Structure 1
């Protein structure tokens, strides 16, 4: 998966945002029609955290790229975590 091909659905990560890094494993679950409801319940029961859906992730990426021509993967992760923790977009240093 690349940043250009974000799957549809909600994105789940383990633990809390303070532990996330570029090596953290995540999973997209498309539960729009309830087909994946059981998988979602299992993830939550096992300590996974629902973060953002694919549309909001694309929004975070868009806002980061609007601020800076060349955004690093680390900056995108920082912007993603910032949005989850603060419900607002990160202002990147130029």
Structure 2
């Protein structure tokens, strides 16, 4: 599923899930991503779910954190665009802090 769809529909996902994105590409709204329960591993030695490992996806953030990022963006700007949402997401990922939307 595209990252754009995930950011626009974040409330549909379970708090226990996490977002996994490709390890080897620059992320954009069209980046294909997966929502996976990070604890869904085949055995305790595995740190990454098999689907993520097989598709070279890395854990990025948990769904609760992403919900907070989206909520914060909408609190600052009631009419957020997809570009506002990806910018807020990437800013948080890089800085571990909420963006200030101007």
TM-score strictly above 0.5: yes
Asked if the contact 1:13–1:48 (Cα under 8 Å) also holds between the matched residues in 2, the reply is yes
* Counterpart for residue 63 of structure 1: 72
TM-superposed CA distance for 1:10, in Å, is 0.8
Q: Deviations for 1:42-83, whole angstroms, at most 9, x for unmatched residues?
A: 524653121111111110000001101101111101100110
* Counterpart for residue 92 of structure 1: 101
Q: Normalising by structure 2, what TM-score?
A: 0.74
* Counterpart for residue 19 of structure 1: 26
Asked if the contact 2:10–2:63 (Cα under 8 Å) also holds between the matched residues in 1, the reply is no
1:37 partnered with 2:44: no
Unpaired stretches in structure 2, ≥5 consecutive residues:
43-47
* Matched positions, count: 89
SS of residue in 1 equivalent to 2:72: helix
TM-superposed CA distance for 1:5, in Å, is 3.7
Q: Normalising by structure 1, what TM-score?
A: 0.79
Superposition RMSD in Å: 2.2
Unpaired stretches in structure 1, ≥5 consecutive residues:
none
SS of residue in 1 equivalent to 2:84: helix
